[in-house]
Amino acid sequence: MADRLTGNRILILETREEAQFSRLLAEQGADVLQCPMFTIQDAPDPGPIEAWIRRFIARPCDDLVLMTGEGLRRLMTVVRRIGVEADFISALGKARKFTRGPKPGRALRELGLEPQVTTEKPTSEGVAELLARYDLKGHRLGLQLYPDKDHAALIGAITAGSAEVDPVLPYVYDAKAADTNILTAIDEMIAGKVDAIALTSSGQPRRLFDVAKAHGVEDRLRQGLARTPIASVGPVVTEELAVHGLAPSIIPAGEAYFMKPLISAMAVALSGKPPRTATN
């Protein structure tokens, strides 16, 4: 059946949304091979985050840009620990809230709030393009950052509009802890035990190659990818693959750059394959 993945083993490199993606794939009958790319940890020094929260309460920002749902949830963990939840949510309600894609919006709704504006492109560049349409002169803008990304261009674009930026980074990545997972995934692809690898963020192929180079197995990674269909959720991932001389063989139809359309595209692409057995 073209809408099923029964008998197919799908490698996923998710972290924040790993459980959801795995569940959606399993519902379509897939055997999911999970490879966490990194672990997420609270920022080692909570002081700057607590200070940012207290500033936001004392003088709510005119605008707030939420880059990730994880970031808001981590902020709320600190907010609750220091006992200012009601005051912080009240301050959030006063700010105009911009979200980078749908995930921060879901985190806001958990607090009974809604974003006022959501980016069409869920990237830092998309956020910068969106904010450029608004007059931010004289505004105080809170900016929730995420790790593994140089945000200098985004901050520069905001300050170019004469806004005052107050950034906060509420969590960090521990990448080294996941190196073994990635090396194992490469071995599984080499052995022909993966029917497709699903990529949902540009950081995933970049991280694959960083780890492979660090451990001297880049050739093995390329061999594994050469025999494994690559599924890309959208153009940002596809552009990163091109940097490494690769192109996806599976992409969602139209401009539906989300998990479910990606899963549907994999189901269609893999529908003609014979079911995987214990020996193949």
Q: Which residues contact 259 (CB under 8 A, 6 or more apart)?
A: 17, 20, 21, 24, 200, 233
Instruction: Determine the pLDDT at residue 15.
Output: 62
What would you measure as the largest C-alpha separation in the chain, in angstroms? 65
Backbone angles phi, psi at 254, to 5 degrees: 65, -140
Residue 41's pLDDT is: 86
At which of 131, 153, 173 does a domain end? Answer: 173
Query: Is the Cβ–Cβ distance between 89 and 109 less than 8 Å?
Result: no
- CA–CA dist 237, 208 (Å, integer): 13
Could you read off the pLDDT of 82-115 as tens digits, one per residue?
999 999 999 999 999 999 988 899 999 999 999 9
Specify if 4 maps to a domain: no
**Residue numbers of the chain with a pLDDT score lower than 50:** 1-2, 277-280
Look at residue 275 and tell me if it is in a domain.
no
C-beta neighbour count of 205 within 10 angstroms: 26
Range of the domain at 252: 9-38+175-269
Residues 168 and 53 in one domain: yes
Q: Does the predicted TM-score (pTM) go above 0.85?
A: no
How far is the C-alpha of 82 from the C-alpha of 53, rounded, in Å? Answer: 10
Q: Where is the domain boundary, 173, 201, 219?
A: 173
Is the CB of residue 187 less than 8 Å from the CB of residue 180?
A: no
What is residue 274's predicted lDDT score, i.e. its pLDDT? 59
The radius of gyration of the chain's CA atoms, rounded to the nearest angstrom, is 20
| One domain, residues 245 and 188 | yes
For residue 29, the one-letter residue type is G
Give the pLDDT of residue 31: 93
Question: 220 CB contacts (<8 Å, ≥6 apart)?
Answer: 186, 187, 190, 212
Residue 277 lies in a domain: no
Neighbouring residues of 85: CB distance < 8 A, sequence distance ≥ 6: 76, 79
**DSSP 3-state of 24:** helix
Q: Please count the structural domains in the chain.
A: 2
Cβ atoms < 10 Å from Cβ of 268: 13
Concatenating the DSSP letter of every residue in 196-239 gives EEEE-STHHHHHHHHHHHHTT-HHHHHHHHHTS-EEESSHHHHH
Residues 240, 220 within the same domain: yes
Same domain, 211 and 151: no
pLDDT score for 38 = 75
Residue 1 is assigned to a structural domain of this protein: no
